[in-house]
Structure 1
């Protein structure tokens, strides 16, 4: 089924404004990030996450009216305290700081500690790209991903994203999790009854394909040592630079007391400080042209540059509404209604 984007925005606003009592500007940013993710086809980080945010607010792990605080800064760096503010707003402000510094010095970077879940982090690298900057971002998460060769959780899925500016055209954007996605594994389990091999350990650290082990078990890193190596880099760029709890010091997602204690890192690079925007854009478009003209293994599946499908999804969403599984949409409305959210749009 297709859900109008205005209806999705209204639903998100009801959660953040009416239920969580967030200020209007914070609710607007959170709504924009969630609905944008849905419009690009990233449903695991769209409005389906609204019940999660309500739950974390009820547990005291999100403070909807909190504002971030600048702790220290230089001409090229900044460190913020999140005070458990809504993560989408916090991350947007932190990237804004990095962009402003990059515009003055060529490179700007910022981190935030004591933050909360911030959705699809490509939202913030796109923010940089729309400002003419190369954007890079990473987020630390609860430690439910085992290290390569290990048996117990050490770090989070620790996503990384980058986005490249293309003037008036849609940015090239890449966003990936260094650990296998629990949401995707749940979907695969619904379809086949099992989790694909090589993605999950049970609570004792044994390989498993049983979807029940998604509760209490441990996720494996993407591509083994590759995902593990990038996950460690994320821990350092986020938690270590922000002086925040790192690795197993962070609480598990199942813990319902104490702060979320997430951290977020972002970097903005101004091409004008290097080769100049025109030359940079020319090189990038040459590369994109080479990607699009690359011989495909399957003629029916042409090679695509990162983000192209997501932008196609967004144009379709703007024209016809966001594609959403009908059962999952009704389940979402039921969950929110049980949490006291008005889901009547008539």
Structure 2
């Protein structure tokens, strides 16, 4: 049974789990909660408040240090490298985005890279954070090697998402958030609904193509759109683990290997239009492009051409009004973790 809760209640549950249950300082809990609710409001259930129970488990096993602060390792006028010290990944990634913005405000371009972090949810949140400051944001995140290279038979890369957000003078940012490997959560959901895996999504433990749901736990995910996802996945590894001089590829522990740190890496790039053609020129050109896109005759008259992220913004308004859908049992569990079950 699905129950809808308003965003204020979702915020309260998340804050209590992070602050009261896990002992995170208020500012770390607030940053993490903001990222989780961003995903829940936009309909990205796999990266929303439902993740909190898993984070509690990771914390109990010593993988998440909820009160740790990222430590500066190296800094220049345009770049900064941080050690997240196993803090909550959402907070560390938000710190990176804000550091990139601060650098770009002074120099036009800023890049922040983080190593030794944890799972950080829907990374479009951090790209949009940069866009909210009237800057072009590009972010990337690398994680456990569950994705086989194109034509390969063993996991080398993470799902390695990459996202950009383009600020607009009027209206919401254009937000593109793309996992370079097929989503394990989405693959599992499809299998539960249809009874089989989609073709081209996975290979089994022996590296053979499979549609058998039994292979989800032991097989390997494939790159999104074949060689395209594969090529972009390598770029993400370079932008994150490569620049951070951190564990890369198969050096990163699998998610199930909780005895070792998560070894998440993240990169945030901020570009200020003022350092190039100027904000007014940039925003005018983007609106010209938006108008051209919107005026393109659609293939299906009932489905007009949309901008990246547009469905997410629409769903956000819908869920602010009608509430965030949560499975009854999941909500009960979250309330218990938040000490709200009485």
> What is the TM-score of this pair, normalised by structure 1?
0.95
Give 1:219-258 correspondences, 5 Å limit. Answer: 219-258=221-260
Unaligned regions of 5+ residues in structure 1, if any? none
The equivalent of 1:39 in structure 2 is: 41
Shift of 1:333: 2.8
Superposed, 1:240-319 pairs within 5 Å as 240-319=242-321
- Alignment correspondent of 1:107: 109
User: How much has 1:56 moved relative to structure 2?
Assistant: 1.1
Say which is worse superposed, 61-70 or 199-208, in terms of deviation.
199-208
- The 8 Å contact of residues 13 and 335 in structure 2, kept in 1 or not, is answered as no
1:342 and 2:339 matched:
yes
Corresponding residue for 1:332? 330
- Deviation sequence 1:75-107 (CA, Å, 0-9, x none): 100000110011111111111111001011110
Q: What's the TM-score once normalised by structure 2's chain length?
A: 0.96
Contact 1:161 1:173 in 2 (8 A): yes
Matched, 1:28 2:30: yes
Write the mapping of 1:173-212 to structure 2, written as runs, cut at 5 A. Answer: 173-212=175-214
User: Which ranges in structure 2 are unaligned for 5 or more consecutive residues?
Assistant: none
Offset from partner CA, 1:288-313 (integer Å, 9 cap, x none): 11111112111111110001111111
Cα-to-partner distance string for 1:22-80 (whole Å, 9 max, x where unaligned): 00110011111101111111111001111121111111111001000111111100000
Q: CA deviation at 1:259?
A: 0.7
Q: 2:146 aligns with which of 136, 140, 144?
A: 144
Q: Is the 8 A contact 2:144 2:157 kept in 1?
A: yes
* Partner SS, residue 80 of structure 1: strand
State the match for 1:69 in structure 2. 71
1:208-252 per-position Cα deviation (integer Å, ceiling 9, x unaligned): 111221112100000111100000000010001001100000000
Q: Counterparts of 1:334 and 1:209 in 2: how far apart (Å)?
A: 33
Match of 1:213 among 212, 215, 236: 215
Is the CA contact (8 Å cut-off) linking 1:333 and 1:343 kept in structure 2? no
The alignment partner of 1:126 has SS state of helix
Structure 2 contact 14–338 (Cα < 8 Å) conserved: no
Task: Report the Cα offset of residue 341 of structure 1.
Answer: 4.0
Residue 48 in 1 paired to residue 45 in 2? Answer: no
| Aligned equivalent of 1:19 | 21
Q: What is the rounded CA distance, in whole Å, between the counterparts of 1:281 and 1:255 in structure 2?
A: 46
Paired residues, what number? 340
In 2, are the aligned partners of 1:198 and 1:207 still within 8 Å (CA)? yes
Contact 1:114–1:259 (Cα < 8 Å) also in 2: yes
